[in-house]
Structure 1
Amino acid sequence: MDSCHLPTTQALIPSGVTLAVNPEARVYASLHEPTVRHTRPGTVCHIPVTIQNLGLVTASVEATLIEPCDGSVRLIWNTQPLLGDETELRSLGVVTRREGFTEVTVSFCLPLELPDLGGRDRVRLVLHGSG
């Protein structure tokens, strides 16, 4: 098991991201608490992700970095297909290369699906790099 796929037996962590995948293959993302996550530049900040698979989908969920797009942030995301369970836990790894505050926008969707025009498939995270 890699570090971006948490076992489904682990307790839910309330300070992460929730993804709801509906039967029409739409992904809706929400952030439990808009908090600043402190990290050292170049190290992985792990953010727990709870996937509520309302459509029992077995496709993979893609995570796309929307901003910043200057190469200062990298995502680590498990692209393995969902298991079809009602709830799965994963981890989104975010690596920032800069000191100070960085706002990170991440979009989630299923393959070949268009992004949500209202931005409901996105979360905005704030990282503070200090080292």
Structure 2
Amino acid sequence: MMAIHVVSGDEDGERGGAPDLCVEDVSRHLFEFSRDQVDLTPILLLVPLVLGQDKINPRYLTLLSATLTFSQSLGLLGGRPGASTYIVGVQDEKAFYLVPHEVQQVLDIKLDNVGVDTSSYHCK
């Protein structure tokens, strides 16, 4: 079982404002959720934000880049309808991203076909 926690705020009356949620609050929610479970409960923390109307406000870039350095980070998903990207990591000032609109068939990789072309399934 996994807990999915969505945090969103309404700072200054703007949609998608910065959330005001403390680590203690998340810890309390997770403790309550996993009270009867023996094992650790994984969490997927979703933070919906509006980072700019037409483009990302530059003041967010350093923080977004730092978020991607966490080993637990699953990345950032954003954009606008029909033009979304999934950013999976950064190196220096470059972002590595995937386009979630391209659907591909699943590959069955076995020992007898390890030479199958997987290049379109990776960041370039």
Normalised to the residue count of structure 1, the TM-score between the two structures is 0.26
**Structure with greater proportional strand content:** 1
**Greater relative contact order (CA < 8 Å, ≥ 6 in sequence):** 1
Question: Which structure: larger Rg?
Answer: 2
